[in-house]
A and B are shown apart, each in its own frame.
Chain A
């Protein structure tokens, strides 16, 4: 695309034993972006990331990193990578493991040690630096692994499902770090199926399903293009009076009802003001009525649902 793309993927295809994991996928990640790679389980996110990292070779197509095709290993000092399945040397001490992994990225031992100490301190693991990794809790081990991906101050961070398996506190901590790194100019690509997280921190998204790209672009543009007028409504507990109103096809095109909260896509030409009047008239006790942009979650369901209804919905709801 442009010269300022950190990652340029051109029509890559990868087949495994008969099934197509990724098909003719193209995407481009601009420098400094926080890029969300979204899709249901088995959509081909991890395979795409592995091909980007040059761990597996695409059957067709090409991957360009930092403007050349020398491959991930050539640029490994500039890239931090967190694989989907986590793991570290169990018997190694936390600090030693971090230093070793930094060394494989070309950082000198002494500098690596200093940086490891700083990060461990920051993530409240200072007291654990000389303990063996197997003595740490799962959450702590994850944090150590995050540190290992960032220790060498990469320009490009590729995180495969970074939020899975983290408790809310650690999720927040990681989100803060991602935002902070992004401010200092790091390009971040991460895959997830947690749309709420992606919505908060991504400025670019790419939704894939069944190995194919469904849509991509700046989040704001995606939302604008998704079209329609959307309204968020919330009711007081146990209020069923609104149900017939929301079922009115003249007003409501689509409804994503989560019980107390519902996202409404207005029917063509319908006026949200009219919906509000009807709701008030129905006697339902409203807690919220807001004209909104469609949520990423909604877009995801619409787009992926259109592609292949069943597996996608199942995957998304399974995680909700």
Chain B
């Protein structure tokens, strides 16, 4: 093995990729996307103090005012009561115009009949907002319950006590004890981890494939294999492209760490109040998790990039590769399909099994590890199985690659690929 030649290949793959627009754009947009989905909800919640809702009081006898108080106490709505005396149709028209002019988000008709039957009608611009509608429904339900109980002669004090808000805080317990993280944040983090791994393995695997195709299509491969052994070439390629992946993740990691340490200042700039900031749950990311994600990324990337290299070596053009890469892509897609199942029951039999199967474990195991406690033994077995499979796959792939890069013409089927592996 000529280390200097491999290094030249690594360098070329790395430098040429890092220079592309694609790399710069994805590196910049990645964190913006992540920051967006973590901070945006908090920022959005502060916008304009919630929906402006009018309550049309059609003789509800004080209920409208109670509902108004309920809505205002939530702080999510800027509500007001409009009395409707004689001409409800005219009022509805004028309110509709108000909504159309965007001075109002919507209006709710409060009639004795509605109170009796429990069927309320809300018209507005924001009916598609699930959050607004859920909150509105909850407020109406609560106000109606209080109203009905009070009418049956229940002591308003008792009603109020019964109505007190109930909170279920979910706190995760790990081997290190209670963490103070919520279940939601854990779920969220597991999802992000799985998604990043999937994207990284797929994108950089495809990059290896395209690099192989480029050399084959331009026939530079002939010059290269006259100076380097095919394995040296493939190795350099895989390391170089993988290096780009690690480099990109490092940029993101450092950015995230810096942002986290300046979080308070950042919230100040964005006019986020401390209470709202508290809603942004920053799940703790331990060193163990980072190490595990890195290990699975590296092995997962190696095993998949070897497969992608085989695809690249067995085709003549990029368009042929679109089809030929299907089986490899499907393996990754299966891992994605297993995602929700694993998240719902990270310790379940299915999740445990899939955490060991080599082509799925690079994505499934880190999800499990993030979402729940995984016994160290299971992680060790999973890593060992993955490592051994990676060595086998890379070995076979290198043999197919060696033959494939100099073959042009009809695309080989799996049987022929295996024959190449045997004969080379």
Binding site for B on A (CB under 8 A): 50, 53-56, 72-73, 76-77, 79, 81, 83, 85-92, 96, 100-101, 103-106, 148-149
Contact = CB atoms under 8 A, between A and B. Distances in A.
A90 B222 contact: no
B218 interface: yes
Given A73-B226, A73-B229, A100 B218 contact: no
B219 A104 contact: no
A89 to B, nearest CB: 7
Given A53-B226, A87-B218, 16 more contacts: A55-B222, A55-B225, A73-B226, A76-B227, A83-B222, A87-B217, A89-B214, A90-B214, A92-B12, A96-B16, A100-B11, A101-B223, A103-B4, A103-B8, A104-B5, A106-B5
A19 to B, nearest CB: 14
Contacts of A83: 219, 222-223
A56 B406 contact: yes
B220 interface: yes
A55 B233 CA distance: 14
Given A87-B217, A90-B218, A148 B223 contact: yes
Interface residues on B, range: 20 to 34
A63 B112 CA distance: 102
B277 to A, nearest CB: 45
A92 B16 contact: yes
A124 B220 CA distance: 23
B334 to A, nearest CB: 33
A99 to B, nearest CB: 9
Interface in B1-42: 2, 4-5, 8-9, 11-12, 15-16, 20
A104 B9 CA distance: 8
A73 B223 contact: no
B218 to A, nearest CB: 3
B228 interface: yes
Scoring A85, A90, A91, A103 by chain B CB atoms within 10 A of each residue's CB, the highest score goes to A103
Interface string B379-418: 0000000000000000000000000001000000000000
A92 B406 CA distance: 22
B224 interface: yes
Contact of A81 (B5, B11, B226): B226
A62 to B, nearest CB: 18
Nearest to A105: B227
B5 A103 contact: yes
Contacts of A101: 223
Contacts of B2: 106
Nearest to A72: B226
Scoring B15, B217, B223 by chain A CB atoms within 10 A of each residue's CB, the highest score goes to B223
A91 B16 contact: yes
Contacts of B218: 87-90
